[in-house]
Amino acid sequence: MNSAVYKALVDIVGEDYASDRAEELFTYSKDLGTAEPKWPDYVAVPKTVEELQKIVLLANEAKVAIVPMGGGMSLAGIALPLHGGIMIDMKRMDEIIEVNGTGRYAVVEAGTSQGKLFAYLKKHHPTLAHSMPDAPPAATIGGNMAIHGQGDLAHPHGFNSDMINGLEVILPTGEICRFGSCSMSPGWFTQHPLPDMAFFLGWGGATGIITKVSLRLFPCKKIREFDLLVVDNEELVPEILYEISHVGMSEDLTAFSQALPPMTDRLHHIGVNISGDTEEELEFKRRFIYDERLSSFFEQGTGGIVATSQDLEKPTVTKTSDWKKGGGFEYVGSVFPVSAYPELYRKGVEISARHDIPYTVVGRVIGAAHSMMFAWSYAFNRADPDSVRHANEALHETDDLVPGLGGTIWKPAVYGQQIVMKHMDANTLELMKKLKNMLDPNGIMNPGNWEVA
């Protein structure tokens, strides 16, 4: 270990926020998924953009890797220091800088957690909401942007990374750049119509560290309702999603199927989130969705609504970690057309059975059914190496499957990244390589991830 680097980190962030001690490095060496531990050499927890910039400059000088980490909740081993180096924990950079209520946007530091922004808006701007992923609330806004996350406003508004009005980024060589209206005015109200130069979304921190995000906010209605429809034939699911998305009145539209509990096995649940400021508004939406678009399904007896309640907790993939004793789960996320649901579900059942894992699959409609984020989740017992191995094999088998079925892999682990790059057309891959090399000439930014060079 290079004690000069440690001393320099202490000079930058102070003794309390730099470490090279094993007990602290340990907590950064693992994530929640199946990935093998990877140890950083140092951890630094900067508070300001200036401190962060100094760390990036230091890393270039010392030729040490740097890995930004938000909540570390992305599961796929992508926030682990694959080549050691300095782990940069972004959580102290969590200021909510501005909320422009009438302009419906919030400017936050990238380490701001989803939970903090949610609580802040609820308290100070109860009529505004941002699109919350189902991830634990400690997940950060910057981390979610870096992997093209999606949240509970995906159906009307797309990926969370489609909802940005501007970014501030520290390049791997230390320069601070802004993208969007904020690059030329004090206002962070749009990312358009300037030339698109934001090579930072979807790169998982391999091209720079996002430091500030301007995030679009949307109306937050007073009453939220979660309705659950159930059908026993997967072939009906795309059509039902198409019909519901035709009226554009749902906020989040999901389809899922899971082996456990046994009463849900082989059934397809369609979760419809709707909201309104009054009961009349909700009733209006219900009428359009269920009476106007789905009445023929109900008349044919091919499905029905099982529950309509404000209080019903929205099921999330999180619960699947209970399927195996030991509480582990990891999923392969992918993006497909909605029409692929039946085949993706059947593959999930097959792969899970081969690896002795109760199957869980979930799809979230993105935009007006323009695509679907589809995830195959595999539970495992952390204390049982065979169980972890099975989950890992199931994950790889699923990654291998995605391109052949015509999809793309979402927030891929390194294994999945290699599959994506293998299938990418040669010119696009070459451009990716040029961009990465141009932005990160010393190869210090999250090396091992999106390794095109």
Ligand X SMILES: Cc1cc2nc3c(=O)[nH]c(=O)nc-3n(C[C@H](O)[C@H](O)[C@H](O)COP(=O)(O)OP(=O)(O)OC[C@H]3O[C@@H](n4cnc5c(N)ncnc54)[C@H](O)[C@@H]3O)c2cc1C
Instruction: Give φ, ψ of 78 to 5 degrees.
Output: -85, -10
| Residue of the chain from 144, 161, 250, 257 that contacts ligand X (CB under 6 A) | 144
Contact call for residue 335 and ligand X (CB under 6 A): no
Of 79 and 198, CB closest to ligand X: 79
Of 53 and 74, CB closest to ligand X: 74
Query: For residues 221 and 417, what is the distance between their CA atoms, to the nearest angstrom?
Result: 39
| Residue of the chain from 53, 60, 74, 254 that contacts ligand X (CB under 6 A) | 74
Asked if 200 and 446 count as a contact pair (C-beta separation under 8 A), the reply is no
Contact call for residue 68 and ligand X (CB under 6 A): yes
Q: Shortest approach of ligand X to residue 169 CB, angstroms?
A: 7
Extract the tokens encoding 19: 């470490």
Query: For residues 377 and 345, what is the distance between their CA atoms, to the nearest angstrom?
Result: 11
Q: Shortest approach of ligand X to residue 144 CB, angstroms?
A: 3
Q: Where are the alpha helices (DSSP H) in 213-340?
A: 237-247, 279-286, 295-300
Query: For residues 296 and 319, what is the distance between their CA atoms, to the nearest angstrom?
Result: 33
Q: Shortest approach of ligand X to residue 333 CB, angstroms?
A: 8
Q: Shortest approach of ligand X to residue 300 CB, angstroms?
A: 32
| Residue of the chain from 46, 72, 180, 271 that contacts ligand X (CB under 6 A) | 72
Binders of ligand X in range 80-99 (CB under 6 A): 90
Asked if 361 and 398 count as a contact pair (C-beta separation under 8 A), the reply is no
Instruction: Give φ, ψ of 254 to 5 degrees.
Output: -130, 160
| Residue of the chain from 12, 18, 66, 70 that contacts ligand X (CB under 6 A) | 70
Note if the bond before 186 is cis, omega within 30 degrees: no
Residues 148-167, mask of contacts with ligand X (x by CB under 6 A): -xxx----------------
Contact call for residue 67 and ligand X (CB under 6 A): yes
Residues 301-330, mask of contacts with ligand X (x by CB under 6 A): ----------------xx------------
DSSP category for residue 413: -
Residue in this structure with the two tokens 């044919």, named with its chain if needed? 300
Binders of ligand X in range 11-40 (CB under 6 A): 32
Asked if 370 and 414 count as a contact pair (C-beta separation under 8 A), the reply is no
Instruction: Look at strands 66-69 and 96-100 and give their pairing.
Output: unpaired
Of 236 and 317, CB closest to ligand X: 317
Q: Shortest approach of ligand X to residue 257 CB, angstroms?
A: 17
Contact call for residue 379 and ligand X (CB under 6 A): no
Of 49 and 305, CB closest to ligand X: 49
Asked if 378 and 353 count as a contact pair (C-beta separation under 8 A), the reply is no
Q: What number of chain residues touch ligand X (CB under 6 A)?
A: 36
Q: Where are the alpha helices (DSSP H) in 152-236?
A: 154-157
Asked if 142 and 72 count as a contact pair (C-beta separation under 8 A), the reply is no
Query: For residues 228 and 340, what is the distance between their CA atoms, to the nearest angstrom?
Result: 21
Contact call for residue 395 and ligand X (CB under 6 A): no
Contact call for residue 213 and ligand X (CB under 6 A): no
Asked if 244 and 253 count as a contact pair (C-beta separation under 8 A), the reply is yes
Angle at 414 between CA 349 and CA 130, to 5 degrees: 75
| Residue of the chain from 110, 171, 182, 236 that contacts ligand X (CB under 6 A) | 110
Contact call for residue 407 and ligand X (CB under 6 A): no
Query: For residues 283 and 439, what is the distance between their CA atoms, to the nearest angstrom?
Result: 52
Asked if 98 and 129 count as a contact pair (C-beta separation under 8 A), the reply is no
Contact call for residue 332 and ligand X (CB under 6 A): no
Residues 420-449, mask of contacts with ligand X (x by CB under 6 A): --------------------------x--x
Q: Shortest approach of ligand X to residue 73 CB, angstroms?
A: 3
Contact call for residue 131 and ligand X (CB under 6 A): no
| Residue of the chain from 43, 106, 121, 147 that contacts ligand X (CB under 6 A) | 147
Instruction: Count the neighbouring beta carbons within 10 Å of the beta carbon of residue 242.
Output: 15
Residues in touch with ligand X (CB under 6 A): 32, 67-75, 78-79, 90, 110, 133-136, 139-140, 142-144, 146-147, 149-151, 204-205, 209-210, 317-318, 446, 449
